[in-house]
Amino acid sequence: MEGMIRRYHLLIAVLIVAVDRFTKWLVASRIALHDSISIIPGFFHLTHVQNRGAAFGLWSDSPSEWKVTVLIMFSLAALMVVVALLWKNSHAMTTTAAGLALILGGALGNLWDRLAMGRVVDFLDFSVSGYHWPAFNLADSAIVVGALLLVGEILFSKGTEPAEDELVGGR
């Protein structure tokens, strides 16, 4: 049974990578760099940008020769932690395991870009009342949703409380 659950976790991660790769390919092949297509005017655009930095463009303007290498090394270390946690939690399809599988798929999708091109293709571009959110991609979305699932599990799950007879010495 445990092996079957692990296959579901792997399937989630592989699907995230596949859809992420496909959407990035579509954007890169159909929208010129820095061009934009308005989907919902004033709110949502598909905009082809390439992020040479970390999440939300952090360090994208850094001239450091080591930037891409450091980001790849950090990604690999984070992936090892996620894989270890997912392996440990692979006995059931839980919110934690689903969140970890989403994070794994998203991290692999962005790592693929960094290894292949030294940058990540972003294209989901939102603005609300003049406030502009940095463009992102489906891999980023999977990472955020996975992280939110983990935070929700931490904040809202009922902990394993000791049974009443354990509190009074048991029988």
Name the residues annotated as catalytic: 122, 140
Neighbours of 25 (CB within 10 A): 11
Rg (CA), the chain: 20
Of 138, 79, 105, 78, the C-alpha closest to 8 is 105
Q: Cα-flanking dihedrals φ and ψ of residue 110, to 5°?
A: -75, -35
Burial of 72 (0-12, 13-18, 19+ CB in 10 A): middle
Q: Rounded to an integer, what distance in angstroms lies between the CA atom of residue 104 and that of residue 143?
A: 8
